[in-house]
Structure 1
Amino acid sequence: MTNQTVLITGASSGIGFELARCFARDQYRLVLSARPGADLQEAAQKLQQEFAGVQTIVIPADLSTHEGPVQLFEETQRQGLQIDILVNDAGFGEAGLFVETDLQKEMGIVHVNVLALMTLTKLFLREMVTRNSGKILQLGSVVSFLPNPRQAVYAATKAFVLSFSEALQHELKEMKSEVTMTILCPPATETDFFRVANAEDTKVGQSKKATPEEVAEGGYKGLLNGEARVLPTFGAKLNFASSALFSDSLLATMMNTQMQPEKE
């Protein structure tokens, strides 16, 4: 049992929802957030049915806008919620050659994956450092380590998450703060990601993937243990090892093959 509160973005489905299940199992108070129109209420009801007594608070927020992250923070303030754990899970991608993909969608990817994550981290980390307690889980990816043709913008945003979070980990250590930050780097996972990214027909989209349950469980345990980085599956560990063994040009070639349509 715990009296702590966790805020999870992207909580309506996929890894975010499975992380919510991990926290609900241990009776954290859940603040669930996702874009307006997402099935947040349905997600909250599922959690309440599965875990008796769990408290859920639903706060929709459009993180693809400049105002969205700030409004989410201000709403937690208005409700008097102390966020003990922040999970920056929200994110999406787009597949295809950069010269052919939609610029507006890619600007939204940068807003959600980079600017919203950075803003929420800034706002909640300040409070955590003042209290000298708290934890943050940042959703990176195995492509944080790999150049990824046909998914260039998404991979670049995940490289930002890795670099940004590792720099903050060093700052927290330098301050001798008790606040911890963990970077979760999953491989391709069986979520709605590939449909939203228009990548269902790619080789990786058609391949066997990690389950959101195993990814979330690994991230949850690593977060509570204060680990700096979590590679939750053997496939994730293999991707990371490849990034150290092979040149960027070879890695880009390999990743490009994975992102091509299966029929090719």
Structure 2
Amino acid sequence: MFSRLRGPLGALLVVCTLVAGCGAETSGKGAEPGGAGRPDASGSGAGSEASRGSGLTAAQLARIPRFPAPPAPKAITVPAGPSAGWYSAVPTNQPVAFITIDDGWTKVPEAVELFRAAHVPVTLFLEINAIKADPGYFTALQQTGAVIEAHTISHPDLKGKSYDVQKHEICGSADELGKLYGRRPVLFRPPFGDKDATTLKVVHDCGMKAAFFWKETTDKGIVRYQEGQTVKAGDIVLMHFRPAFIDDFLAVLQAISKAGLTPALLEDYIA
């Protein structure tokens, strides 16, 4: 439960983004323009910077909503096998939504301060190639309560690939993240949100419980909806570690607040 993550570690955070024109889940790739698996010029933060932070402005802090505590989670039962579960939203009537953040290329120094100030749960789906130059940056985020899950080694489109290729990417990323952060992931997100039956079998065989798509995405401070114009109970919201990380995160918080929901920890809802 999220309550177990409070205390000396502080709070959790959130979020994950995608970009315009993501399309519905049935449309295949959840378009990640700009290459979610590619670094940009701002993508080289240091772990020491993450611990120190460069400071959020008063205006940014004022944009952080205050949420009621999330309800005691009612976990869903995922398939026992031979394939992992697949969800774009958690089937729940509880007034919660889930913030997820992918990749790890851009390492904004203010993220630790932002996570602590927002004091909400967040799940990070990390790509090995995106984090390997500075894994300590994500240790600092983990110490605020963020939970780290798997997102492959090199961010390929898995759909149509052989079992062995997918196993290398999926099991390999979980194994490496377990070594780096002291907990082997139990959840997985495929790059681009693209998968096939082999993907879900491999996720299960790699010892993970479920894989995830999304209902909302965020990029450059704008939340985009797959259905309607509001976040709904159980929705999974996607962000990325991009240059506009602060604005993206704040936009997600405000969208969840406007919907009358509270951020909850995705892991608490997967039995």
Fold-level similarity (TM above 0.5): no
TM-score, normalised with respect to structure 2: 0.32
The structure with the largest helix share of the pair is 1
Higher relative contact order (CA 8 A, sep 6+): 2
Structure ID, larger Rg: 1
TM-score, normalised with respect to structure 1: 0.32
